[in-house]
Each structure stands twice: as structure tokens, then as C-alpha cells.
A and B are shown apart, each in its own frame.
Chain A
């Protein structure tokens, strides 16, 4: 575990050197700004960030895979994976370091949206407990998306393929699963509802902390990180 922090620091540094991270951050802020003004920041609007949070799944599906696509792909493409994996560092440390590097960037991204919370609070009374639960939800949602993105980045040396495959998988589990759950009935409906990421996320935006939802996010994030480690290790079986 000693080696997690240097990898994380390097990854975080790489984010701030790359133009993609700034582009993502800028577009993210512009989009949310427009959406915030159009929905919440209106006479008679609700003093909460619920509307903004509801937008997060689709925003994250588009932006987070772009952030994670280079994490391992780029190491394969440039060959730095060879110097990295011949240094005294294990696969788990590499994966966790990279994941946390991306997670810290996500926290930076999310923290900029706190501005909207303060603006809302000037004009109305914000429920801080609900806000905390919303942010916890966004963080868990983002962490899951990052782990999926990291997994696909470990599978290919092509960043575009990594980004597109994670987007597809996330779209299926975020939106398609929910849509199908509404169409289906019986046991299938139950299963699909349980698999739907958006279903699990909705509670957080309404200030409801459900143990089920937290467990869902934590375990699925853990699962994808575990799979990423295995993919990275698979180099040794070939």
C-alpha cells in the first residue's frame, strides 16, 4: 500500500497537465451553469440541488469515461507500463493509486458545484442534510463510473475504445435497466430495478440514505477495481 500515494499523485498531476481534464471541467461547469439557471435559479424555484443532481447520471456517463480512458490505455500505448510493472510495485497498488487520483479529480469537479448551493442558500433556506446526502450520492455514483472506466482502460491500448465501451456499459446499467424494469413485471422487474444505477442513486438526491444503495455502490465499485487488477495481472498468464 506504500506505493498507492506516489501513483495517485502522479495521476493527479497528469490530469492537470492534460488539456482533456480542463476541457471536461469547463464543459461540465458551463452545462451545469446553464441547467442550474434554467431549472433551479428561477422565481418560485425549489431551494435544493435536487434538479441538478438528477442530471448527474447522464453528465457523468459522458464525462467520466473521458477522464479515465487514458489511465491505463496510455501506459500500454507508450510502453510506460513496462517501467511501471518492473518497479517494485504490485498491480493492486497501481490500480488503487490510479483510481484515487481520478477520484480526487472528481472531488475537485464536484466541489465547484458547491457554489450553486451557496447561491441557493442566499435566496432560500437550503436543507444542509439533504445536500450532504446528495453529494455523498454523487461521489458514490462518480466512483462507480470511474472504476468502470478504469476497467475498460485496462482492457485496451486504445483510449477511444476504452471510453466508448465504458459509456455503453454505463448507459445500459444507468438508463436501459431502469427503462426495462418499468416495462417488465414479476421477478425480472425486481432484478432489473436492483441493477439499475439510477434507481439506487435517486434516494440520495431526495435525502434518503438507504444502506442497500450504499452497499450497491461500494460493492460494484470494488468489483470493477478487482476486475481491473485481474486484467492487469493477466499479462502474467499470457
Chain B
């Protein structure tokens, strides 16, 4: 549905988007994940025909975003980052205006407006001036606008930013529901959000795609780094060397923040191997005290943080 090939965007000498490529298939919910300033909005603005790419090309539904921009705009619903709206208009007036821009006739507009206001829980607010609405309500108006012409592709730029936790959950559910009928590309800098809603994640930082795949695929990639934590009572040097001798242990580190009789270690196993059992046996045999033994499978969060930290170093 969306194809991006070697896309770059420069502002002066600054490369906001650096040679990125990705595909979005029909019916997918794709999360565009990256820290602030990663180039998410720049990429989205190219896809929505707001500004052109410096090089490379992108197509939406087979139409080129630069040369066939009207066709692309007709099939796309877009919610920009800050949800810009006209404060003096009433919600219904605004949606009427947007409907007219999309070429809906009177009847179509009326039914489309009642449908999207229902969907976005705007029912009782349709006759309120937009300027009087709260941030969350404005976001819903923007979303209603994006859905108005029943677009094949929905592009949402940071749809949950500035919302309260309930609204975030509502929006997330809505996005999941909408995914049944629309292809969705949405950006976020919050991993958990993307992880819960998306069928595919595209991780970008500094204008480059660092990784892409389904959440489980990405998790697979990082699970190699699983760690176990153990708290033992006994001579710490001895414990450390004893555990280090166990087969399949790559690294053992003492946690200096725990003092007193107990010592805490972070142990990294080789590959996906679970080393809890041998560790427990060694401690048992030596007769040391054991009060915690916990395995932590690396989360996407760690992966996200790590990959971005690496990016920063280079």
C-alpha cells in the first residue's frame, strides 16, 4: 500500500531523513517508532504530499506522492502532529468544510459526519466551537477529520501525544479497531504503545531505519541478551568465581548498590540458554543463602534504548 524507496530529505545541509526504505502492506498497522527528531514527521510529511523529498521516491496505493499527489491525498486521511484546527469553527462546520474539500456531496457529508463523530465519541460536542474544546477532544476532531472520507490509508502523527491515560487507551483501542478496515501508519516515540497496537514496527533514529519487523520478530532478535539476577549470602569473591565457572555463563557482574551480608549479581547467559538451574545448584551445594533468582527476558524497551544509544555514540 505504501512503498518508500531510498527516501531522503534535507533541510539545508541537515539530513532529516537519510536514505530510508520500507513497505507497508494493505491492512497492516505500522508503528513508526523513534526518538524525538528522528525524522518521523519529515517522512510522514513526504508521504502525505505536504513537502517533497530531496531524493528517492514514495508511492501510496500505486500513486507517486510527488507527481500524482491529488490521487494520493484523496485516498489518505492524515492527522498532523499538533492537530491544527480552526478554533473559531464549530466541530460540525469544520467537518462540513473538510467534507467539501474532499468532494463529498451534501448527503454523503451528513452521513459521513454522523458516522465519524460517533466513532470518535464526539456526539455531544458537534455544535461546540473547536476553540473551547480540550486537547483530547481536539485530537478526536482531528481524527474524525482524518476518517471523514473513509480513506484507504490513515497516517497519524503522534496520535496520543498530550492525552491523559484514559484517552491514550481509548485512542489505542480505536486505532486497533480502525486497523480492520484501513491501512494505518502511525508514529510514536513511546515503545509500549507501538508494541501493543502494531502488526509491524519500523524503528528509525537520526533519519535511518534501524530495524523493522513484527513485534515478535524484533523480540526474537533481542532475546539473546536475557539476563538473570541473583541475590546470595556468602563470600562474594568466592561466589563470583564459582558461578563464573559454570558452563554457559558469559558474564557476571556484582551489583555494588547492595551491601551487607547479601550480594547481588547480574548474570548474562550464552545465547538463549536458561542458566537458572545450574546457578541454583552451585549455590545449594556450597551452602550459601539464596533469596532471589529471577530471569529477565530482554524487552523491546531495552532493545530500543540500546539501539538508540549505539546510534548516538557513532
Contact = CB atoms under 8 A, between A and B. Distances in A.
Asked whether A and B interact, the reply is: yes
User: Which residue among B52, B80, B86, B93 has the maximum number of chain A CB atoms within 10 Å of its CB?
Assistant: B86
Interface stretch (B98-106, B291-299, B304-312): B98-106
A79 interface: yes
Nearest to A18: B88
Contact of A79 (B52, B80, B93, B102): B80
Contacts of B52: 236-237
A89 B73 CA distance: 9
A82 B145 CA distance: 13
A129 interface: no
Interface residues of B, number: 29
Given A79-B84, A87-B73, A2 B78 contact: no
Interface string A72-91: 00000011111111111110
Interface in B195-229: none
A9 B97 CA distance: 9
Contacts of A79: 80, 82, 84
Given A13-B89, A238-B51, A87 B84 contact: no
A237 B54 CA distance: 9
B229 to A, nearest CB: 47
Given A86-B73, A87-B102, A88-B103, A14 B51 contact: no
B70 interface: yes
B50 A85 contact: yes
A10 B97 contact: yes
A2 B103 contact: yes
Contacts of A18: 88
A235 B70 CA distance: 16
B145 A14 contact: no
A82 to B, nearest CB: 5
Contacts of A5: 100
B85 interface: yes
Given A14-B86, A78-B87, A85-B49, 13 more contacts: A2-B103, A10-B89, A14-B89, A18-B88, A79-B84, A80-B86, A82-B45, A83-B84, A83-B145, A86-B76, A87-B102, A88-B70, A89-B101
Interface of B: 11, 45, 48-52, 70, 73-74, 76, 78, 80, 82, 84-89, 93, 97-98, 100-103, 142, 145
